[in-house]
Amino acid sequence: MDEAKRALEQECPGLISCADIIQLAARHAVVQSGGPFYPLALGRRDGFIINGSLSSGELPGVDSMISSIIKIFRRKGFNEMDIVRLIGMPETLDVGLWTLDYN
In the annotated binding site for substrate, the residues are 60
Spatial neighbors of 53 by CB under 8 A, at least 6 apart, are none
What residue numbers does the annotated binding site cover? 60
Sign of CA dihedral 79, 38, 8, 15: negative
How far is it, in rounded angstroms, from Cα 69 to Cα 88?
A: 13
